[in-house]
Amino acid sequence: MDRIHAMRVLVKIADRGSFAAAGREMNMSPPAVSRAVASLEDHVGARLLTRTTRSVRPTETGERYVEDCRRILAAIDEAEAAASGSYARPTGSLTITASVMFGQIYILPLVTEFLDSYPEVDARLLFLDRVTNLVDEGIDIAIRIGHLPDSSHSAVRVGSVRRVVCGSPDYFERAGVPETPADLARHRFIAATSASSLTDWKFGPQGHETASVSPALFCNSNPAVIEAARAGWGVTRVLSYQVAQDLAEGRLASVLEDYEEEPFPVHIVHPEGRRASAKVRLFVDFAAKRLRANRFLN
């Protein structure tokens, strides 16, 4: 069997978690789907998928192989697009990554709008609270918050966000409004377990002023932290975009604004060193225009 075609079948199974669903999308019979996977497993000499009565998922070896297949297939699609002149119009799959909350709030609506405008493009969204390797993980575009390291990637700045200290208005009415970072010692804190420097909050343009805090409540997600703050349980510190709507509508109030650190830039990043396809170029332009117009990112 054509190995490239078999790779496409394997990736589709991994994405859909089902032989039957992959077969339906690729107009293949169940035996043909099974033969494609078997041919790859015979070729590499390892089991690539684990089958249960409910689902199909890659083995540990299969996970690495699937990601390799994604990169190989993306390179093939790009080469074919260049040869056929498809750089003039957007086609094919677009893989985009962002942090979880930023992706859900800001990127998902952009992507669905983009797909409505360009029906020959499909998208795969990876919302992860970690820094991804665009090349190794086969990602076309990333939205990064924070200062970027030197790299060969192209980056387009689209806005900035701040780190804000906030709580509900009724909490500050009960506990008092801190006027300086030192006043935080009288307050109760909520923090995400993934946050860095949990016990030291830095303030000022250079981050030279520090307030030591001892959170009484830890949550493993930022939405849970924000919900506890909304409920008036205590004070938290999050990125401004995460609570922008709450601040605008009065559910939360920010304090110590005169002591904030420098804002963090927001960039759209994509790999350099190869000519960007139409889908990448158009999405970058499309997203940059929308994000720059968003009042919560400026």
pLDDT at 198: 61
**Whether the predicted model's global pTM rises above the 0.85 cut:** no
> Are residue 219 and residue 278 in the same domain, yes or no?
no
> Are residue 211 and residue 254 in the same domain, yes or no?
yes
Tokens of 62: 């299969």
> Are residue 204 and residue 233 in the same domain, yes or no?
yes
CB contact at 8 A, 272 and 153 = yes
> Are residue 65 and residue 211 in the same domain, yes or no?
no
Kindly give the parts of the chain with pLDDT less than 70: 1, 53, 81-88, 195-198, 207, 272-275
Domain end marker among 84, 112, 146: 84
Domain end marker among 84, 103, 122: 84
- 250-to-101, 125, 126, 247 alpha-carbon distances in Å: 20, 31, 31, 5
Residue matched to tokens 């509508």: 249
Number of domains forming the structure of the chain: 3
Separation of alpha carbons 11 and 15, rounded Å: 6
Separation of alpha carbons 243 and 223, rounded Å: 9
Domain coverage including residue 130: 89-159+263-298
> Are residue 125 and residue 249 in the same domain, yes or no?
no
> Are residue 17 and residue 66 in the same domain, yes or no?
yes
pLDDT at 123: 95
The pair phi, psi for residue 240, each rounded to 5°, is -55, -35
CA angle 179, 184, 189 (to 5 degrees): 135
Tell me: the pLDDT tens digits for 111-148? 999 999 999 999 999 999 888 888 888 889 999 999 88
Separation of alpha carbons 254 and 229, rounded Å: 11
pLDDT at 272: 59
> Are residue 72 and residue 46 in the same domain, yes or no?
yes
CATH number for the domain that contains residue 142: 3.40.190.10
